[in-house]
Chains A and B, each alone.
Chain A
Amino acid sequence: MSGFRLPEPHGTRIDRTRPIPFLFNGKVLAGFRGDTLASALLANGVRLVGRSYKLHRARGVFGCGFEEPNAIVDLVDGERRTPDVRATTLELTEGLAAQSVNCWPSVGLDFGAVLGAFAPFLPAGFYYKTFMWPDWHWFEPAIRWMAGLGRTSLAPDRDRYEEICVDADVAVVGGGIAGLSAAVAAAEAGAATTLLCAAPAAGGALGWRGDATVRALLAKAGRAGVTLLTRTVAFGVYDHGLLCATESLAAATPGTHGALRERLWKIRARSIVSAQGAFERPMLFPGNDRPGVMLAGAAEKYAHAHATACGRRAVIAANADSAYAVARSLRAAGIEIVAVVDRRPPESIGAHAEGVRCLAHHGIRQVIGGRGVRGCVVVDADAPGDRGERLDCDLILSAGGFAPAVHLHSQAKGRLRWLEDAAMFVPDGAAPGLHSVGACAGVFARSAALEHAAEVGRSLALGFTVPPPPVGGAGRSLASSRIPGVRGKIFLDLQNDVTVSDVSLAAAENYRSVEHLKRYTTTGMATDQGKTSNVNALVLMGEATQRAPAEVGTTTFRPPFAPVSFGALVGRRVGNRYRPLKRLPAAGWHAEHGALFELFGNWSRPAGYPRADESLESAAQREAETVRGAVGVFDGSPLGKIEIWGADAAEFLDLMYVGTMSSLAPGQARYGLLLNEHGVIVDDGVVARLGTGHFWVNTTSAGVERTAAAFEEWLQCEYPNLRALVTPVTSRWGNVTVSGPKAWATLATIGLDRRFAPETMQHMTIADGEFDGSPVRILRASFTGELSYEINVPVERTRDLLERVWAAAAPLGGCPYGIEALEILRTEKGYLHVGVDTDGTTLPGDVGFARGLERKRANFVGRRSLLRPAARNPGRSRLVGLKPADGRTRLPVGAQIANAPPPTATEGHVTSSHWSPTLRAPVALAMLARGAERLGETVGVHHLGQRIDAIVVATSWIDPEGKRLHG
């Protein structure tokens, strides 16, 4: 251990009896339990921890929490790699291995640092102005290679993440004394209270100082039943009181996988209290990014909480009274305070530090040292050109005032106001559902913060009016800590290398909106989201454009407050749980018969049943041919099934479908198209009448939920007078479809009643029957063009029925067939596939339903839109068949139909295309402008630079008269 560890009693957060070895850039170092990686590095004398994003400048630890812009590392553990982790919030654990990012070959010798020599050519927005000649693409690979910080692992993340949803009367964000005070008061008043604390222990700054008030509040919180979540970062406030946070569970043990690493909390809170404190504002002086320049409050925390001296001789650059408290504190810890260089005039300084030299109205003109501070030159603020005074030091602390953490307040749509004296934005009243307390409300006086927070907690619990915050206590600060006229590179956004001159340039180029400034200069757009740079940036923008900070305003605060891992957001949604997968009731039967499963509308269904040495395509050919020649067995269980019941069911279905359903007699069925209000086809299916006021509606497999929802919406919102009830029953019924010329022979073998024979049961009829004691509902409808029976059976009997049917079909030369074969069969017949042959513009008239529309007198959804001139335009695309002129080339789906090669006006495109095993020729469907008038015409089909001539034909290639449907 180096000489940067302070003796006890410093180190309230570390356990000196528990040393922890760790690796940093391949070097073995040691810290203590309770250290962060940053504190351990500082204790080991490591000053250079990273490189900046754009210019690869040497950088050291700057802060002690979420504001950290510099100390960004990758955690490496075998194939597990966690990129861009802040060393300041990362707890040290056994075996931790961290690497600096954005440097090569090492952080000490980084070839990228050569960019510093070209810095004048890389101002704000340089990528809009440079690298244009001779061609951007010449430079693009190198720039892309250099961009970015850490690297993620390409291997799957094998750790576990979970999500949890809870309620709270009051959710308090922030475990400092204000948050604790609010939580205790709320809980004592009877509210179910949850307190979220980002640190491993509650208490905030007073906590690591060992303050007795914190201990008392923690004890009270325990007694009052406050639910305390430590290591939990609230990152977003959303509608209706939803507060989201991530909890870091035990750090993943190196070398092991499968640990529960993070938990996403979704807290639905009646009231939210934000007590997130404030960030320290950096001072603006040349060289303010050098390793050894850091925030004063951070240095104090490292000294007290982690017994780490960030340097031995410190200069404090000040713009706030807090500098003097830090000076006293560090001096007591044995760190020499060379001077407090206070930018403010003497009359604005409201504090002092005994025995510490104070240079009022002074500032730093130069930092001496490249990879570490060796000193600085200070000058009178009114005479920046003077020789100044050199102060030798190895640490420069920045106490530029405070920026209250108004992130959650702003996310909740709260307003802000600018406090001129303290130079900070504070909440302007409460946000909807969210109240701020403590420093984030602008309340910096301890007793006032405690009392106000307690009053807020109590009021929220009891439903009383919440008192406004007693804003104040921060003293006076200048809005801008920069000394006008000093020369040198002054950094605003340390992570993105945005400088003061970048803001000046943006202003000179007439940028005025702070949102535009942000995007042009990229200030505030790094992983720290500008927690140390935003206020300074907008103050400078105001200076450059002669506006007060309040006039400039802030950029929009959006979640997340701190980076959130994808793992936490995804939670359990990995692998099979990525999205809900619908499984067939007899999936096992299909697997046993060689099914190749693929996803179709979230259903895992057999695409086909390829035999050994058979591709899916050749299997589909064989299966389709078998259906045409013998019999095929198909699992149609996913087919959407909805029952409609009620005295007005027929009238309701007439309103929903293009077809007229009220004219169906019980037992009859009819094909129907479902439109939306725009007249666009959104689904299709067969509607069958079971009784006077009872219908059975089949929808597409993927469309049943939205169809049922649309039915409900129309019933509840537009037609509440109709007595009709909609009940989806897809899951209740399995469906085994038997199709082909030997379909009835198959079903007769299993003992189906003779009344279902094709001679007695007509095509497009429905009848109830029985299968082995179970009710079945048999529909004579066909999507193959062959004699077909759709047998709906109670779902738990699906496998039994499949086995019986298969036992009968196999000896007849039958086969099970999958979706691919079905697609071939329906394309051969020219049957429409909604969503494949149609898109978001297709109207019924486009697919051959013009006559049906003209005939229907009753109103129906979408009808008005079909009367518009655009809908009746004869130039609209129409569904047609296409056959290649050479009789053998299969037309690619999506290929454009045009007279000339693209780019040119297109006349249509191919929607479905297959090789027909029956015709021994390709068949295709297409949407073609004025298609119905162009039968026999040869058109050009263009695909990837190739032209294929095709002839426009009618849509049905096989059995256009439909004789095969009847057996």
Chain B
Amino acid sequence: MVDAHDTAERWIGGGVTAERDRTIQVASLRYFDAAQCAARIASALGGAPPAAGRLERHGLPGSAEPFAMLWRSPSETWVLAGSPAPIDALRRGLGTTEAAWLVDLSGGVLGIHLAGTRALAVLRRLGSSLSIPRLGEARTGRFADVTVTVAGWHADEYLLLVERVFYEHLVDWIRETLADLRLEDDR
């Protein structure tokens, strides 16, 4: 047995690739009123909490510090980044305000990119179609019997965010689904 963070990272089947995002940093931005803290967030990161159900990506991938903001609930936005810098910047920008609060969840929430023309078919085999977002959307629902936040990351690409304790369980389901897609292709 190996520890969760040491397991294999990439699985392919049925034209779909599932790959763990090794660098993703996740922080939960909590607030009572998004408008109250929008200015601070904007000055710290250059972006505001997204509208309900939306995913906002800022900065080009590969550029200095790209990050994304993902709506979770009326009082919560997740900030995703490829390095700790944007989250640190946001923490500094928020300062000691009583309007918003940042909780670093990095390491506790893991990311899996699901990409390929049949990525949607995989998601449909993991959970409710109502919980599958379109491009630029983010939804939290029950996939593989656990809570997963899914973001429509690119065309034919989704980012799945799952609590670390359920990571292996989710990966197990994804592996099985990819195997089934292969079986279906072989028929």
- List chain A positions with a Cβ less than 8 A from chain B: 160, 162-167, 249-250, 259-260, 266, 268, 572-573, 576-577, 579-583, 585-589, 591-592, 603, 643, 645-647, 693, 723, 725, 727, 729-733, 794-796, 799
A580–B183 contact, CB under 8 A? no
Among residues of A, the one whose C-beta sits closest to the C-beta of B31 is: A725
Question: Which of B98, B106, B128, B180 is A268 in contact with, Cβ under 8 Å?
Answer: B128
| Residue among B31, B107, B109, B168 with most chain A CB within 10 A | B107
Residues of chain B contacted by A647 (CB below 8 angstroms): 98
Among residues of A, the one whose C-beta sits closest to the C-beta of B1 is: A591
Residues of chain A contacted by B28 (CB below 8 angstroms): 727
Question: Is B130 part of the contact surface with A, judged by Cβ < 8 Å?
Answer: yes
User: Besides the contacts A588-B2, A646-B98, A732-B105, what 10 more A-B pairs have beta carbons closer than 8 Å?
Assistant: A162-B180, A268-B129, A579-B145, A581-B169, A582-B165, A645-B101, A723-B32, A725-B31, A731-B108, A796-B5
Q: Give, as a whole number of angstroms, the nearest-CB distance from B77 to chain A.
A: 12
Q: Give, as a whole number of angstroms, the nearest-CB distance from A609 to chain B.
A: 14
> Which of B37-45, B48-56, B170-178 lies on the face that meets chain A?
B170-178
Question: Is B75 part of the contact surface with A, judged by Cβ < 8 Å?
Answer: yes
Show 18 A/B contacts (Cβ-Cβ < 8 Å), sorted by A: A162-B125, A163-B125, A164-B125, A165-B129, A250-B187, A572-B173, A576-B169, A576-B172, A580-B169, A581-B168, A587-B1, A587-B3, A588-B6, A730-B165, A731-B108, A732-B105, A795-B108, A795-B164
Which A-B residue pairs are the 7 nearest by beta carbons? Answer: A732-B108, A731-B108, A588-B3, A591-B1, A582-B165, A731-B163, A796-B107
Docked complex Cα distance between A249 and B186 (Å): 13
Residues of chain A contacted by B164 (CB below 8 angstroms): 585, 731, 795
Overall SS of chain B's interface:
mixed
A725–B165 contact, CB under 8 A? no
Q: Give, as a whole number of angstroms, the nearest-CB distance from B107 to chain A.
A: 4
Residues of chain A contacted by B76 (CB below 8 angstroms): 727
Task: Please count the residue pairs between chain A and chain B whose beta carbons lie under 8 angstroms apart in the complex.
Answer: 123
Question: Is B30 part of the contact surface with A, judged by Cβ < 8 Å?
Answer: yes
Question: Which of B1, B2, B180 is A160 in contact with, Cβ under 8 Å?
Answer: B180
Those of B62-100 within 8 Å (CB) of chain A: 75-76, 98
B144–A580 contact, CB under 8 A? yes
Residues of chain B contacted by A579 (CB below 8 angstroms): 145
Residues of chain A contacted by B176 (CB below 8 angstroms): 160, 572, 577
Among residues of A, the one whose C-beta sits closest to the C-beta of B120 is: A166
Q: Check A725/B144 contact, CB under 8 A, given A167-B130, A259-B183, A586-B3.
A: no
Q: Give, as a whole number of angstroms, the nearest-CB distance from B125 to chain A.
A: 5
Q: Give, as a whole number of angstroms, the nearest-CB distance from A37 to chain B.
A: 22
A725–B145 contact, CB under 8 A? no
Residues of chain A contacted by B35 (CB below 8 angstroms): none
Over the window 104-145 of chain B, the binary record of Cβ atoms lying under 8 Å from chain A Cβ atoms (1 yes, 0 no) is 111111000000000001001101111000000000000011
Q: Give, as a whole number of angstroms, the nearest-CB distance from A165 to chain B.
A: 4
Q: Give, as a whole number of angstroms, the nearest-CB distance from B23 to chain A.
A: 12
Question: Which of B75, B107, B169, B180 is A577 in contact with, Cβ under 8 Å?
Answer: B169
Residues of chain A contacted by B12 (CB below 8 angstroms): none
Question: Is B166 part of the contact surface with A, judged by Cβ < 8 Å?
Answer: yes
Docked complex Cα distance between A261 and B69 (Å): 41
A260–B130 contact, CB under 8 A? no
Question: Is B4 part of the contact surface with A, judged by Cβ < 8 Å?
Answer: yes
Q: Give, as a whole number of angstroms, the nearest-CB distance from B25 to chain A.
A: 12
A731–B104 contact, CB under 8 A? no
Residues of chain B contacted by A250 (CB below 8 angstroms): 187
B104–A732 contact, CB under 8 A? yes
Q: Give, as a whole number of angstroms, the nearest-CB distance from A736 to chain B.
A: 14
Residues of chain A contacted by B5 (CB below 8 angstroms): 585, 796
A729–B3 contact, CB under 8 A? no
Q: Give, as a whole number of angstroms, the nearest-CB distance from A378 to chain B.
A: 52
Among residues of A, the one whose C-beta sits closest to the C-beta of B98 is: A647
A166–B124 contact, CB under 8 A? yes
Question: Which of B128, B166, B187 is A580 in contact with, Cβ under 8 Å?
Answer: B166
Question: Is B146 part of the contact surface with A, judged by Cβ < 8 Å?
Answer: yes
Residues of chain A contacted by B173 (CB below 8 angstroms): 572, 577
A589–B3 contact, CB under 8 A? yes
Question: Is B155 part of the contact surface with A, judged by Cβ < 8 Å?
Answer: no
Q: Give, as a whole number of angstroms, the nearest-CB distance from A426 to chain B.
A: 33
